[in-house]
Amino acid sequence: MRTLFWRIFASFWLAIALVAGLSLLLGHALNQDAWILARHPGVRDLASRWIERYEQRGPQAAQELLERHKHRRHVDVQVLDEAGQPLVRGTFPPRAAAFEARREGHRLPWRRLTEDQTSAASGQTYLFIYRIPHAELAGWQRDSLLWPVSALAIAVVVLTLFSALLTLSITRPLNRLRGAVHDLGQTAYQQHSLARLAGRRDELGILARDFNRMGARLQDLIASQRQLLRDVSHELRSPLARLRIALALAERAGDEERARLWPRLVQECDRLEALISEILVLARVDAESSQPQTVDLAALLGKLREDAGLLAPQQEIRLEMEPGLQLTGWPELLERALDNLLRNALRFNPPDQPLEIGARRDGERLLLEVRDHGPGVAGEHLAQLGEPFFRAPGQTSAGHGLGLAIARRAAQRHGGQLVLANHPDGGFVARLELPLGGDGKV
C-alpha cells in the first residue's frame, strides 16, 4: 500500500480545500443579504422588537423605536402589512422612491434589504424594508473581517505546522538513509542502524528494509571476497613454493636429473592453472549479470551423465527424473554446479555401487540430487563443507575445496540453497534446492 503517496496527496488536497472554503466563506458571507440581516447590528433583532412594540403599545411607540434606531445606527426602516400598505410613517426621507427611480441603472448610495417577519402572537406577517448606507455597511464589514481573518490565520498556522510535520516525517528518514549510504560507502555500515525506520509501514519503511537487505548482502560479499583473497593467497603459496624449489634444483642438476624434474614442473604448473581456473569460476558466479533463460533440464542431466561416464567408464550412473519439469535460470552455472557435485561423488563412490542422480519436485521447490555410497563426512564438518578451500580432515582425493563452493554460490544465485548431508542408508547426498514460481518454473 502506497501510504506515503496518499499521505502527501491528501495533505495537499486538504490544504487546497481548506483555503478555498475559507475564501468562499469570507467572500460570500460578507455580501449575502441573509448574512447581513443576521449579523449587522442595525437590522439584527430589530423586526422582532418592533413587532412586539407595535402589537403591545401601538403605532406611535413603534414609530419612535424606528426613529431612535435611525439616530443610533443610521439605518432607515419602512414596515408594510400583507397588502403592501405602510403601518407607520417609517424613517425613509420624503421623495425617496422618486430618487431611486431617477437613479435606476446606477449605483445607489445605500444597500436595500427586505425581510418578512411573522408575529408569533397574532400570526400576522410584516414586511420590513431596510436601507443601509454603503459607508455604514463598509465600516461594519471591516470590523467583521476580524473573525474570518483570524480563522484564516489559524488555518495558515495549522497548515504550516502540519506541513512542517509532514516534511520532517519525510526528510528525517531520508537523512538517516543518506547517513546509512555514507556509512556503507565507508564500510562502516551497521546492519541494525535502520531498524527503527524499517518498522514503518509505508514506502520509506519498504526502502529501509530493502536497503538493510542490500547492506547485509554487500557486507557478506565484501567479507566473502576478503576471505577468498586470504584463502587464495594461502593456497597459491604451496604450488609456487614447489615450483621455486623444483626450479632451484633444476638449475644445479645435470641433464639426467633435470629430465627427471621436468615432469614435476609440468605437474605443478597444471595444478596452479587448475586452481586459478576454479578461482575465476567462483568469482564469475557472483558477477553473473546475464538474463535467466529456459533450461532443457533433461538434456543437461543427460549430458552430465554422459560426461561422468567418460571419466569413470566402470562406474554405474543412474538418472531418475520426473517428467514435465521446467527450469528457468543460468544453464552454465547449473551445469558447472552439478558437474562439480558429480566429480566429488565419483571420487568417493565405490565401483560396485551405483551413483544416483535425481530430479524431482517437492511442493514449491525443485530438488536436484547427487548421491554416492562412499564413507560420508563426519557430522562436525558438515557445516563447513562448501566454504572455499575447506577440505574435510582425512580426505586424500585431489581437489582444492572449490567445487562445493561453486555449487553453493550457483544455488544462491538462483535463489536456492545447497544442502549437504550424510544419507540415512549410507553414503553422502548433495542436493540443490531451487524455488519454483507460480507457473511451475524456477
Q: Which residues contact 383 (CB under 8 A, 6 or more apart)?
A: none
| Among 63, 60, 100, residue whose Cα is nearest residue 78 | 63
Strand order in the sheet with 125-133: 76-80, 125-133, 110-118
Q: Which of the four pLDDT bands, split at 50, 70 and 90, describes residue 388? A: low
Tell which of 287, 317, 344 closes a domain: 287
- Note whether 171 and 229 are same-domain residues: no
Q: Which of the four pLDDT bands, split at 50, 70 and 90, describes residue 198? A: confident
**pTM passes above 0.85:** no
State residue 122's pLDDT score: 87
> Could you tell me if residue 440 is inside a domain?
no
Joined grid coordinates for residue 286: 557472483
Domain range for 355: 293-435
Most confident by average pLDDT, 161-165, 404-408, 412-416: 412-416
- Note whether 161 and 202 are same-domain residues: no
Q: Render pLDDT for 296-305 as a digit per residue (tens, 0 to 9).
A: 888 888 888 8
Query: CA-CA distance, 421 to 433, in Å (whole number)?
Result: 13
| 139 vs 177, more confident | 177
> Could you tell me if residue 117 is inside a domain?
yes
Q: How big is the chain by its Cα radius of gyration, in Å?
A: 48
- Note whether 383 and 301 are same-domain residues: yes
Tell which of 144, 175, 208 closes a domain: 144
Asked whether the predicted pLDDT for residue 293 surpasses 90, the reply is no
Question: What CATH number did the domain enclosing 46 receive?
Answer: 3.30.450
Q: What are the φ/ψ torsions at residue 330 (nearest 5 degrees)?
A: -115, 105
> Could you tell me if residue 441 is inside a domain?
no
- Note whether 178 and 38 are same-domain residues: no
- Note whether 135 and 67 are same-domain residues: yes
Which position has the grid cell 552454465?
332
State residue 298's pLDDT score: 87
- Note whether 25 and 158 are same-domain residues: yes
Q: Residue 94, Cβ neighbours under 10 Å: how many?
A: 7
- Tally of domains in the chain: 4
- Note whether 98 and 204 are same-domain residues: no
Tell which of 287, 308, 324 closes a domain: 287
Mean pLDDT of 341-347: 87
Mean pLDDT of 8-19: 71
Which position has the grid cell 563412490?
349
Residue 86 DSSP class: B
- Note whether 104 and 159 are same-domain residues: no
Q: Render pLDDT for 231-268 as a digit per residue (tens, 0 to 9).
A: 666 566 667 777 777 777 777 777 777 777 777 777 77
The two counts, helices (H) then strands (E), for the chain are 13, 10
> Could you tell me if residue 442 is inside a domain?
no
Joined grid coordinates for residue 155: 488555518
Query: CA-CA distance, 353 to 340, in Å (whole number)?
Result: 19
- Note whether 343 and 387 are same-domain residues: yes
Q: Which of the four pLDDT bands, split at 50, 70 and 90, describes residue 185? A: low
